[in-house]
């Protein structure tokens, strides 16, 4: 059926499909029939058999899965479009379903078009939020603009259109919107600018677009009585209508020929373009372009009369005129230029009523001719009739701002000789008047704002990349000069605050429109600074307002210091605990440090976790009626109970845990509080009186309880816990000192090749010679104290130093395996550190292998890092079977478990599997020759264990050097 449909054999698809369907009517619920029904529907639509098409839309919908039934609804929409039925309600109903975003976007745009065609913009505007969310390419913008126009929201439409005026995709839609808005607002100036910017682009648009544009321009220019521009667009409209009429006629002829069966061939005829003769005044365009540029080169700090004088001096180089006259209607000011001099005077209205300027101002039409051709023969300069010194006059309206006149000495035969030139000059003068008006407003506004900024209303600083300016109020507040350099300002900040402050200021200089609020100590004052970045031309300014909050800060700190209640939980706080502690150590009681289920924090977030902890604290306070509950830390409680008998305290703890477990949480009903409790029975287990020491004992006990494998919810403090902590701290201190002073030593365990009975590899290990600490325990302490990465980096460096010295003394190298943790290996600094060390000590990559200890290495995240190491020749081993199966490692290290059959078969299968993938299997902790023989019989090639004693670095060096001497 698909093949027939692709060949457009629609009758065959229709007939055969219906026949096949009728045979399988009993399998009406078969989803596979959906494709057949769709082909029958499409064929029926092509054959215009709409009743069949409609029936199969329904059949297709019945067999489609529920989540795919929208496909049949889409067919129904298409059906209604072709049969000219109203389908607006169908789209509205379909949009309530769960649809793919692309289909939903298409339906939303169809619905929007329907609303606009039905003149229902209030419904259309409700779709915009969803369209903005789905339409990443912003294809909805033209429809959005039409909606705003229908709603008469001209300000919003103008704002959006200006945003997309430079966007190639939507510039013409933005143009049409701005055109309608400016016509509505009767903004002749912006309309003239719009006309100039888009006049050429309009001609590239569709006839319908051009027709609408011409009519809007014509209607507006007719309303303001601009005959020249009205005639221009009337001519364009007339030509377009002729073109459309001719096109329609050609289309009807072609249609008739098609109907008669006659094949029409389009023969293109090359027509030579018409070339118009160049008129003399065409060269005035170059002069106008130069004058436009010069007019904008005159600095805006010049007075306007000086601006006109300089401008007309340049105009006089282009055209020989006796007088240039500019009249501004706003202030009745007359500017008269003659022979490099400009005169200005203010007129009274009666003095120019019977002049050409009065009529130009009244109707806005340009005038030109000899003085005798005008009914108003009074010269505005002399107040008398024109004499023979004026041969020809051009006058132009400066829109609603005034008039411009030119006196020529001689009469000219063709008015068009200078018309375009003087018309262009009048446009330049109009633009200068508008600019002067804007600049005047800006100057007034700037003066007003400058007075505000210089006042004592705010403490202000304006800063650029090169200069800082402080107003008088900020100078007094900060005790600085008006232009104190930024570097000197930083010196008065706290040392710990300088870096953060510099970062904030630098961030604001990177982009305009950013804001920040910083608080810091400046000299002896607490300052709150609000900053905002503002762009001026190509430079960004950072504006700062300083507030002195020293008194607020002092008062707040005083209140905080004196407060005895935690404001978040309403429990007593640490301040209250310290106040009452002296009383507690005089009595016999018990101190409890309680933490709760902290695992909820990353799941539910800090806000919910705080509410959960608050509920936990309130319930604990309710339970310990005879005790006192304090908030000790963010998620910890401190409880004092006036009993210290072991049995009484134990019963109390068990009852407390049972009470919490039996009570369902209101905040998170399906989570348990899961408390962990450290207990000191005072003064039974300690007579320490310092609160800080007792707090430390409790914290260590709680930490010890968390690290224990058991599920015990509480622990009684024993002094051995503190002793272990002290010992671990001594070890880590010694370890830090050993790393700094190179007091660590290397030892090497031997990895044996059973087939050849030789040493295959050496595995390095670190030892502390002055402390009897096992290497595994040393690494565990380093990990607990966040020194594991530093320890393992030092280990790698010591191996490199050993190999470098060995090669230098013996010209030989040995292969060494270095064990490292997963955390060190997956650090982003690992590869650069390794490559830097190997380069520094000139170590060939193939003599080092890394044994990575740990599971759950994320494949996608670390594959590039592993590949980078492997490509250089560095070997990689692992202790994890899963990791070995996932990454291109060289060997798998497994611990020896037992000699039972299951384990033997397991390691034998592992060996065979990895052998096929060119990976070695190394069995560790082999302790006897019997175990060695069993492993050898299973095919295991490499072993390591206590039966092969470790060798120190010094002994290994002497051994290799001795062998080297014997060879020589």
Looking at residue 914, its pLDDT comes to 92
Looking at residue 26, its pLDDT comes to 53
Query: Residue 263: which residues within 8 A CB-CB, separation 6 or more?
Result: 257
Best CA proximity match to 532, nearest among 524, 540, 542: 542
CA dist 820 and 791 (Å) reads 10
Q: Where along the chain do its domains lie?
A: 2-202+210-216, 284-444, 459-553, 563-717, 729-967
Is CATH 3.30.450.20 what the domain over 459-553 is classified as, yes or no?
Answer: yes
| Token representation of residue 723 | 């002793």
CA dist 194 and 198 (Å) reads 6
Query: Residue 471: which residues within 8 A CB-CB, separation 6 or more?
Result: 453, 454, 458, 459, 460, 461
DSSP reduced 3-state for 263:
coil
Looking at residue 771, its pLDDT comes to 67
Instruction: Please compute Rg for the chain using Cα positions.
Output: 46
CA dist 510 and 539 (Å) reads 10
| Token representation of residue 949 | 């004693």
CA dist 620 and 891 (Å) reads 54
Distance from chain centroid for Cα 869: 33
- At 175, which helix (H) or strand (E)? helix 171-185
Looking at residue 407, its pLDDT comes to 94
Please check whether the two domains, 284-444 and 563-717, share a CATH topology. no
Could you say which architecture CATH assigns to the domain 2-202+210-216? Answer: Alpha Horseshoe (1.25)
- At 448, which helix (H) or strand (E)? helix 416-454
Q: What is the dihedral of CA 199, 203, 206, 209, to 10 degrees?
A: 30
Query: Residue 215: which residues within 8 A CB-CB, separation 6 or more?
Result: 237
Looking at residue 250, its pLDDT comes to 64
Q: Which fold has domain 729-967?
A: TIM Barrel (3.20.20)
CB 813 within 8 A of CB 807: yes
CB 922 within 8 A of CB 716: no
DSSP label of 634:
T
Which class for 229: exposed (0-12), middle (13-18), buried (19 or more C-beta within 10 A)? Answer: middle
Could you say which architecture CATH assigns to the domain 284-444? Answer: 2-Layer Sandwich (3.30)
Identify the CATH number of the domain defined by range 563-717: 3.30.70.270
What is the block-wise mean pLDDT of the chain (968 residues), using blocks of 10 residues? 82 83 63 79 86 82 80 84 84 82 85 86 86 83 88 88 85 89 86 83 87 88 82 86 76 48 33 38 77 85 88 91 93 92 90 87 86 84 89 91 93 84 92 88 84 84 91 91 90 89 93 92 91 89 92 77 80 89 90 88 85 91 92 91 92 92 87 90 89 90 81 87 76 75 86 92 85 74 83 92 92 93 90 93 92 80 85 91 87 88 90 92 92 91 90 90 68
Looking at residue 566, its pLDDT comes to 83
């Amino acid at each position: 059926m698909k093949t027939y449909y692709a060949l457009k054999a629609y009758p065959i698809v229709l007939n055969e499909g219906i026949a096949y369907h009728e045979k399988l009517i009993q399998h009406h619920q078969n989803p596979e029939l959906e494709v057949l029904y769709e082909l029958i529907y499409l064929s029926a639509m092509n054959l215009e058999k709409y009743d069949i098409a409609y029936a199969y839309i329904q059949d297709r919908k019945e067999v489609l899965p529920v989540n795919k039934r929208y496909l049949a609804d889409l067919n129904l929409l298409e059906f209604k479009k072709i049969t000219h039925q109203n389908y607006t309600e169908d789209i509205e109903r379909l949009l309530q379903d769960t649809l793919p975003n692309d289909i939903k976007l298409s339906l939303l745009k169809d619905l929007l078009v329907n609303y606009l065609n039905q003149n229902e913009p209030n419904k259309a505007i409700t779709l915009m939020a969803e369209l903005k969310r789905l339409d990443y390419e912003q294809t909805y913008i033209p429809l959005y603009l039409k909606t705003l126009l229908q709603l008469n929201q001209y300000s919003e439409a103008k704002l959006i259109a200006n945003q997309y005026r430079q966007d190639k995709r939507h510039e013409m839609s933005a143009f049409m919107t701005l055109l309608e808005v400016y016509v509505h607002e009767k903004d002749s100036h912006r309309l003239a600018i719009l006309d100039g910017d888009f006049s050429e682009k309009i001609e590239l648009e569709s006839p319908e677009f051009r027709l609408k544009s011409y009519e809007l321009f014509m209607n507006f220019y007719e309303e303001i009585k601009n005959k020249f521009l009205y005639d221009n667009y009337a001519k364009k409209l007339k030509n377009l209508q002729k073109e459309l009429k001719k096109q329609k006629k050609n289309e009807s002829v072609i249609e008739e020929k098609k109907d008669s069966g006659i094949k029409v061939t389009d023969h293109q005829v090359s027509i030579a373009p018409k070339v118009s003769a160049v008129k003399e005044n065409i060269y005035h365009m170059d002069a106008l372009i130069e004058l436009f540029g010069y007019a904008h080169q005159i600095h805006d700090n010049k007075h306007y009369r000086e601006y006109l004088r300089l401008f007309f001096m340049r105009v006089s180089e282009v055209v020989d005129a006796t007088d240039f006259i500019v009249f501004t209607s706003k202030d009745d000011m007359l500017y008269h230029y003659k022979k490099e001099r400009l005169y200005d005077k203010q007129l009274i209205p009666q003095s120019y009523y019977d002049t050409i300027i009065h009529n130009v101002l009244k109707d806005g039409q340009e005038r030109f001719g000899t003085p005798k051709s005008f009914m108003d023969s009074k010269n505005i300069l002399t107040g008398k009739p024109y004499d023979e010194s004026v041969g020809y006059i051009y006058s132009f309206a400066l829109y609603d701002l005034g008039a411009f006149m030119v006196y020529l000495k001689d009469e000219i035969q063709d008015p068009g000789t200078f018309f375009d030139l003087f018309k262009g000059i009048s446009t330049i003068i109009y633009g200068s008047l508008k600019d002067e008006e804007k600049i005047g407003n800006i100057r007034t506004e700037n003066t007003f704002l400058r007075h505000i900024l210089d006042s004592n209303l705010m403490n202000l600083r304006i800063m650029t990349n090169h200069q800082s300016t402080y107003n008088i109020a900020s100078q007094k507040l900060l005790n600085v000069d008006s232009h104190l350099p930024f570097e000197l300002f930083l010196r008065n900040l706290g040392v710990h605050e300088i870096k953060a402050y510099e970062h904030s200021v630098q961030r604001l200089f990177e982009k305009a429109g950013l804001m920040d609020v910083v608080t810091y100590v400046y000299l002896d004052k607490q300052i709150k600074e609000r900053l905002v970045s503002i762009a001026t031309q190509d430079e960004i300014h950072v504006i700062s307002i300083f507030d002195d909050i020293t008194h607020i800060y002092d008062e707040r700190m005083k209140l905080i210091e004196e407060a005895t209640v935690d404001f978040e939980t309403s429990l007593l706080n640490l301040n209250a605990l310290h106040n009452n502690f002296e009383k507690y150590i005089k009595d016999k009681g018990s101190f409890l440090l309680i933490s709760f289920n902290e695992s909820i924090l990353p799941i539910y977030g800090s806000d919910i976790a705080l509410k959960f902890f608050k509920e936990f604290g309130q319930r604990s306070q309710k339970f310990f009626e005879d005790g006192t509950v304090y908030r000790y830390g963010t998620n910890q409680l401190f409880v004092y109970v006036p009993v210290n008998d072991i049995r009484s305290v134990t019963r109390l703890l068990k009852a407390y845990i049972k009470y919490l477990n039996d009570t369902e949480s209101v905040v998170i009903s399906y989570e348990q509080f899961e408390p962990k409790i450290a207990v000191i029975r005072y003064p039974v287990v300690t007579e320490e009186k310092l609160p800080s020491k007792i707090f430390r004992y409790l914290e260590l006990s709680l930490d010890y309880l968390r690290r224990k494998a058991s599920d015990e919810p509480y622990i009684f403090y024993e002094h051995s816990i503190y002793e272990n902590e002290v010992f671990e701290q001594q070890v880590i201190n010694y370890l830090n000192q050993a790393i700094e002073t190179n007091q660590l030593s290397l030892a090497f365990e031997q990895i044996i090749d059973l087939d050849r009975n030789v040493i295959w590899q050496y595995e390095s290990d670190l030892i502390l010679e002055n402390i009897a600490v096992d290497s595994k325990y040393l690494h565990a302490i380093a990990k607990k104290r966040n020194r594991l990465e530093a320890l393992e980096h030092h280990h790698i460096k010591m191996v490199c130093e050993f190999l470098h010295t060995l090669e230098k003394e013996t010209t030989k190298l040995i292969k060494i395996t270095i064990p490292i943790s997963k955390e060190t290996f997956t650090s982003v600094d690992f590869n650069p550190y390794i490559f830097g060390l190997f380069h520094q000590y000139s170590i060939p990559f193939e003599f080092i292998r890394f044994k990575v200890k740990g599971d759950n290495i994320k494949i996608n995240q670390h594959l590039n890092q592993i590949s980078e190491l492997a490509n250089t020749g560095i070997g990689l081993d692992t202790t994890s079977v899963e990791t070995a199966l996932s990454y291109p490692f060289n060997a798998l290290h497994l611990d020896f478990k037992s000699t039972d059959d299951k384990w033997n078969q397991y390691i034998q299968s592992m060996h065979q599997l990895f052998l096929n993938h060119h990976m070695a299997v190394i069995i560790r902790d082999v302790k006897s020759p019997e175990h060695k023989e069993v492993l050898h019989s299973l095919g295991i090639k490499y072993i390591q264990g206590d039966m092969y004693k470790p060798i120190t670095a010094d002994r290994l060096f002497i051994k290799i050097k001795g062998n080297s001497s014997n060879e020589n």
